[in-house]
Amino acid sequence: VELLHNVIQHDQAQRRDTRGPWAQAAMQRHQIRRNFLVEDGFAAFEGLTEEGGLRDVFRVEFIAPDGEPESGVDGGGLFKEFMVTLNRAMFDPEFGLFSETSDRTLYPAVSAFWTHGHRAAELYAFLGKVVGKAIYEMFLLEAQFSRVFLNRLLGRTNEVDDVAALDRELHRNMLQIKESANVEECNLTFSVSVSERGHHEEVDLIPNGSNVPVTRDNLTRYFHLMANFKTNVQFHGQTAAFLRGLQCVIPLSWLKMFDPYELNSLISGSTQGFDVQDLRRHTNFSGGYQDDSPVIQWLWRILEHEMEPEDMGRFLMFATSCSRPPLLGFKTLYPAFCIHRVPDGERLPTASTCANLLKLP
């Protein structure tokens, strides 16, 4: 991760040096209507390429539902809010681009082209650009991808054992069939049923496969064909479109430094809590608080000794809008984490997540 961070920093420095006094002009400024977030986000990214804006600094101005610009100058916080809200909307399975496994990881929805029609490919490419921009800015996403999808992004072919990462029940059924005394009694054929979001389709795994019975002799071939379809073939178009957008920001050669687990951490971070002392070292204070203030001392003690990783994640989500710590530690969090003293002791804690600002009474 640190190697990629150094590569990205070198790229950013080169771009600044190349543009010189015109670097500020290369900043991308976009108006985003809150009630048309996806549409305006799509328009902002559309037409941008690696050399044509995707690696430039983005600045956002939100437009309220009444059509008036919201107050505030984007120093990075509004762009962060835009990215968080956009990704939350588009990775929601209800949006129709991604489906969720039993362990809540995401993979491209089989039904996406039925749900969104010809626009699905454009939406996947757009979301690929968004994820690429997040990686380039070292900005973590809440979404966690299935290993099957990550393998495809890295150009790897999934095998029979990878079915479990996508569909545990299917993998369990395959094992039961393998142990069955009489495979023929299962009445299987070389075809597969695809059902999602109200759409049903029967797909042959081989020519005329729905009329070819599965027997003990051809069972291994059936398993390989079934696994290949489920983990590689059925969302090939979706993955290709996503990857096309991703590579507009992040060259595939950069990503291939990682295995699927590392790539998942690069995109989504770690769910194993965080180093409280690291956060403490890189926390600013305002409103009268200092590191040795009693309330602050209580906070550090609770975080370090009384919270489980899941609760620590909820704390970070509340304060920063991301439940996972920055990949290279809190020294890289932007804006820097800050705790502000609220004079009214009767108030509950609040936060301005776009500024990573925790307000404690």
Higher pLDDT, 114 or 286: 286
Name the DSSP class of 289.
-
For residue 70, name the pLDDT band (cuts at 50, 70, 90). confident
| Amino acid 93: pLDDT | 94
Shared-domain flag, residues 148 and 196: no
Highest-confidence range of 79-83, 119-123, 180-184, 354-358, by mean pLDDT? 119-123
What percentage of residues in the chain have a pLDDT greater than 90? 68
Highest-confidence range of 67-81, 120-134, 174-188, by mean pLDDT? 120-134
| Amino acid 20: pLDDT | 55
End-to-end CA distance of the chain: 37
DSSP assignment string, 122-176: HHHHHHHHHHHHHHHTT---S--B-HHHHHHHTTPPP-GGGHHHH-HHHHHHHHH
Shared-domain flag, residues 263 and 296: no
| Catalytic residue list | 354
Q: 212 is in which domain, residue-wise?
A: 160-233
**CATH code, domain carrying 140:** 3.90.1750.10
Shared-domain flag, residues 249 and 295: no
Look over the chain and give the mean of its residue pLDDT values, rounded to a whole number: 90
For the stretch 224-256, pLDDT in tens is 999 999 999 999 999 999 999 999 999 988 888
Residue with tokens 């769910």: 271
| Amino acid 25: pLDDT | 46
Shared-domain flag, residues 40 and 51: yes
Please state the domain count of the chain.
3
Highest-confidence range of 59-68, 80-89, 233-242, by mean pLDDT? 233-242
